[in-house]
Amino acid sequence: MIVSAGLWSIAGRWTILVLVLCILAGGCRDETPIKVGFIAGTSGKVADLGISGRDAVQMLVEEYNRNGGINGQRLDLVIKDDQQEPEIARKSVQELIDEGVVAIIGPMTSDMAMAITPVLDKHQIPAVSPTATTQHLSGQIDYFYRVSSTTREYATKSAAYHIRATEIRKIAVVFDKDNSSFTENWLNIFKQYFVSNGGEIVAEIGFEKQQKRSFIEIALELLSHKADGILIIANSMDSALFCQQIRKVDTDIPISLSDWGATERLLELGGRAIEGTLVVQTFDRMYSGEKYQAFRKEYFNTFKREPGFPGVYAYDAAQVVFTALEKQKKNHRLKETLDSIGQFPGLQGDIRFDEFGDVQRSKANISVVRNRKFIVLD
């Protein structure tokens, strides 16, 4: 078929017009939103972790979208509440994958991380957890990453401080069995150091949400063992409640908490019962770095509360995912990109993953609660 010069001329003009419009519109870039999942317990007793984490991630998503998203594509955050139930967590992750997320930020607790990792591996979708610290997921080639150190650093820090700086040598322990991959792991590491250096664990009492025993009954049992101190390995709400029940009976016995309980919610709920309580902290609230201070200020102005370690680490986890998405090459899996980068920016220093997706962070400290504030001791 013969096409006239006039028709070619018209076609040429349309081609040029389309090219110009593409350039003006940003080079014909794909404007389909990039879906990223977020999963955490945003209801129930562990909601302070999930809500702080969710808000921090949403804040970073909005920042990226104000600046054009990632390579011209907006970010779409899809949020799921795992309700601190393994089966719900697995179902929620499957729903996120079915909705087309390219990565997941979360979960916030160790038991939920244990529950979802097989699903991540099956579908080859990476997740970066802000605060799951169990060592049961250490040293494995999988699709689970985390930006917080494992329980070994925090539990050992606590045990070493008790041996070195206090007179406590007999400790009675209460721990949450509903997050046992964290709490039992934490207890075992603490006990290993504490006992090998002259201490004694005189009681180990587990509790769970289906229990029939009241908090005051458990507190009385803890105190019946005539320990020098009490160690509570639980979320912030339960830690505050145990402190209140213990203080009704004994106003002087030293109380220590794991890092899980050391959130801003503890300060809100604990009242006078938590005054003097020792806690191990996973980051430096008073860190002077410009990036951290700017984040803290924006978070506080937006939500009228401090981000705490859940907010800080969730922001870091999101930054890891978004940085990898920015640098991901065509036809490369996101895990390949995560593994090849290795080092990512964080609010309190760079985050460096080892070959198993674990990190080492050196911000752990021992603090005491005074006047509803965490005061660093060591």
How confident is the model over 67-93, as pLDDT tens digits? 999 999 999 999 999 999 999 999 999
The lowest-confidence range among 119-123, 124-128, 283-287 is 283-287
What backbone torsions phi and psi does residue 250 show, to the nearest 5 degrees?
Answer: -135, 110
Q: Collapse the DSSP code of 263 into the 3-class scheme (helix H, G, I; strand E, B; otherwise coil) and give the result.
A: coil
Residue with tokens 């080492």: 360
E strand or H helix that includes residue 89: helix 86-98
Whether the predicted pLDDT of 8 surpasses 50: no
Q: Could you give the CA distance from residue 96 to residue 93 in angstroms, rounded to a whole number?
A: 5
Range list of β-strands (E), 267-372:
278-281, 343-344, 351-352, 365-370
Region 301-309: mean pLDDT is 95
For the whole model, what pTM was predicted? 0.86
Q: How confident is the model at residue 40 (pLDDT cuts 50, 70, 90)?
A: very high
Please state, in angstroms and rounded to a whole number, the distance separating the CA atoms of residues 343 and 85: 32
Among candidates 315, 309, 316, 307, which has minimal Cα distance to 344?
316
pLDDT confidence of residue 149: 87
Quickly state the pLDDT bin for 342 (edges 50, 70, 90).
Answer: confident
Predicted pLDDT at 369: 95
In the prediction, which pLDDT does 286 show?
85
Burial class, 163, CB count within 10 angstroms (exposed 0-12 / middle 13-18 / buried 19+) = middle
Average pLDDT, the chain: 91
